[in-house]
Chain A
Amino acid sequence: MKFTSRHTAAAIGVTLAAATLTGCTEEVGGGGPAAAAGACDPADITLVGQVRNESNPYEAAWLDGGDTFAEQVGLTQQRLTYDGDSTRQQEQISQLLAGDTECLVMNVLPNGDSDTPPIVEGAEEAGAYLVTQWNKPADLNVTDYDHWLSHITYDGVESGRQIGDALAEAIGGSGGVIALQGVLDTGAAKDRFAGFEESLAANPEVELLDDQTANFSRAEALEVTKTLLTKHGEDIEGIWAANDDMALGALEALEQAGRTDVAVVGIDAVPDALTAIEEGTMTATVSSDGPWQGGIGLAIGYCVATGELAVEDIADEDRAWFAEQFLIDQDNVADFVSPEITESDFACDNLFSRSQGAMS
């Protein structure tokens, strides 16, 4: 018995190994040279979009944008989420890279700065085309790699300042405001608050009464705002929040306190914030345009994979760049409530049209 089963197992193992080997050889023979020239048949391209989770409206919109682009070129996007878990993100990436990588295009939102290097190294080794967004360590240079095509991010200082200025304008240029910061040890929270401080310096009549953290969370923002409202009372004329979730929490706190005279600003342009701006309860937010982010990463990879764009032809300042963001207030909110994806945004000769300059 023992022997037979062992023999059977060995036989199966050998057969499997042989099958796999043949498979590999065939692939290398077929796909190898084509990929080296950057000329995948469009139909062979696999498009993958990876974000933290779909329960976040912004990231869900991101993946929807990826679907729109995929449809545009007659493909489907594989939607991956990793629940904000770095280990799971790495596992998903290694699984992808263990498969057929010759014509693989990945548009990835790394969980944190430190998650980017292993993803980049993996893609480079496997020959998959990679675009990353938001997070990368400052000393990791995209130009050192051939398959890491581009890194797109947004200037947090700029967005923090934009909503700071909008807030100052809404309260008539003078008065007391409070600030709700994000998770204090993240770059986004730091940059956005630095931008707000710039705005405060430019509007000397606006006084920052208090700044507290609500960790980017709606529930925490509700509690912190309630406490600050009892602390400062009528002195508060405006609330600056480092993201929309906190701004929405602050709005609930204002409603519960019966205050309607306080201006609230946030960042991210989540659907609820847009509704609040439409209704006039919220003043302004900043949009990075999630659907565009979901599409553009795939578009860059697609254009390089098909050979319409060569990596060497991408200018150095387009390898790591700040994309354009939009201040949304009551005047233009209608344009953003149902965002339309313009096909020309993803044309191979128009990929970098939203660049605001290289990442500093």
Chain B
Amino acid sequence: MTLQARLVVERPRFRLDLGLAVDAGEVVALLGPNGAGKTTALRALAGLVALTGGHIDLDGTPLHTLPTEDRPIGMVFQDYLLFPHLSALDNVAFGPRCHGASKSDARATAASWLRRVGLAEHSGSKPRRLSGGQAQRVALARALAAGPRLLLLDEPLAALDAHTRLQVRSELRRHLAEFDGATVLVTHDPLEAMVLADRLVVIESGTVVQQGTPAEVARRPRTDYVARLVGLNLHRGTADGRKVTVGDVLFNVAEDLRGPVFLAFSPAAVALYRSRPDGTPRNLWEATIEGIERHGDNVRIHLDGSIAVAADVTPAAVADLDLTPGQRIWAAVKATETHAYPA
């Protein structure tokens, strides 16, 4: 393990208590809602926020006893914070200079980093003359130029417009793959986290609520927040063999489990009927339409009743079934499209 940390930061009405382990070459994304403590955790790793407890060990040496400037870190800030009075080249050369390189060596290092991020021709530009995407790449080059062992990225793509973000994200992914130290990335965008990170750590109210590879997290959400992020319906139920009871609805599932379980299924797997369909009473319940909204090419129906569920149907189905808010309706989900796992 390269980074081993337990971060405890106490503030009035807020407590962050977070265990974090990141391998060399691994990219870990801290994902969570606003105010969950992601940025505080990142700033604590950088030494910009003092720990009230815990420790930070990087490659076996304690980091938490060092001031920020003595930590072998590189940080990319949400709005980049490029020094406005320095050229792109001198911004990138700043780190190497601080680490004792001569002016010409630092500039040579900076020039090679600017080449790597594809900005060689902008080396003389002041930050205000750079586009958002260019500034982001200069910020990344600046953070990497001093050769950090721990790279910290705070919402690195949040300040970019949607089109630039796509392009910069794939570049960033390539640079992160080339970086051999530990990387911790903070984001509230699940897609960004899944594309960029090898492992997700989901934080809510200052503590880790779930972690795993993006595939695991996307498939097996463990909190409502994560389920919303990955776009699944999530319910807690009780399993008995291949049956799961959620509220008073009985589901047939593929997994053989016992005890408390999570049951997840996609809104697209939910089918709606005006009258009670024939067949088994399982995976079927009566619901009230609470709301109808546009969702991509489909229409999302929010159902209330014995369980609250989101269902995605086509606009044609909305017309055929004549769906209106307040209406009673039957909802069903196929057993093969549910996924149950121990809670």
B and A form one assembly: no
Contact surface of A with B, Cβ cutoff 8 Å: none
Contact surface of B with A, Cβ cutoff 8 Å: none
